[in-house]
Amino acid sequence: MHIGILKTDAVRTEWVAEFGEYPDMFVRLVGDADPEATFSTWDVEEGVHPTQDDIDSVDGFIITGSKSSAYDDKQWIRDLEGLIQRLHAARKKMVGICFGHQVIAQALGGVVSKSDKGWGVGINVYELGGAPFKGGHTGQLKLIASHQDQVHVLPPGAQNVVSNPHCENAGFVMGDHIFTLQGHPEFVPNYSEAIMAFRGDMIGGERVAEGRASLETHQHEGAKVANWMVDFFAS
């Protein structure tokens, strides 16, 4: 299995030694689920896109999270939307995480905006309504979150499969080639803590306290999602 990673942000310099860059986080996550998986990365934030030969060579793409908003007036985001539209037209598999979830939705006709419910941080508990592989999944999913933007309107043809009261559209599927999540399976609790400490004033003290408490009371289930992603790309 060969997976392409579309990098949409850089980790703060002082955190890279401990946590790596965002593609490193996905390599660790998916590599634990499938040690034979290989990866290639394109830094789309810097305008680097895969060629058609590159697209043909991978089983699918992961679009990472970003501090940028999908609706920001940035040329690299508009260019990424064009790439997403081309991949969608070709039914190339895509997994979108956080910003990746949002920009796929926006590129395909959905609406993304800042939520008046404030930030989602720490480990959030979601209800599952199915998934695009091996019979689907129901029950709950516990994932680290770090966002204020949300997908408020799904793109035409999308099916909502992950939800909670704070974020109704926390994951969707389209056909058998798109799977997205608002939460971050690739994050680890220490990285969530670092983000909350750094953005504390922006997030708000009460929400940070709730997020820190959730890291103690819930178990992050990134490994569960990694197995789903392997199944998704292999199907």
- Report the alpha-carbon distance of residue 231 to residue 235 in Å, rounded: 6
DSSP 184: B
98 included as an active-site residue: yes
- Cα–Cα distances in angstroms (integers) from residue 111 to residues 108, 114, 130, in the given order: 9, 10, 22
Q: Which of 147, 186, 220, 221 is catalytic?
A: 186
Other C-beta atoms within 10 Å of 209: how many?
Answer: 13
Q: Which residues pair with 151 in a beta bridge?
A: 112
Distance CA 138, CA 130 (A): 5
DSSP β-ladder status, 178-181 and 171-174? antiparallel
7 Cβ contact partners less than 8 Å away, ≥ 6 residues apart = 21, 22, 23, 41, 42, 43, 44, 45, 64
Contact 151, 109 (CB under 8 A): no
Indicate which residue of 98, 101, 147, 167 is catalytic: 98
**H/E segment holding residue 104:** helix 99-107
Q: Verify whether residue 152 is a known catalytic residue.
A: no
* Annotated catalytic residue within 88, 166, 184, 220: 184
> Does the active-site annotation cover 167?
no
Supply the residues annotated as catalytic: 98, 184, 186
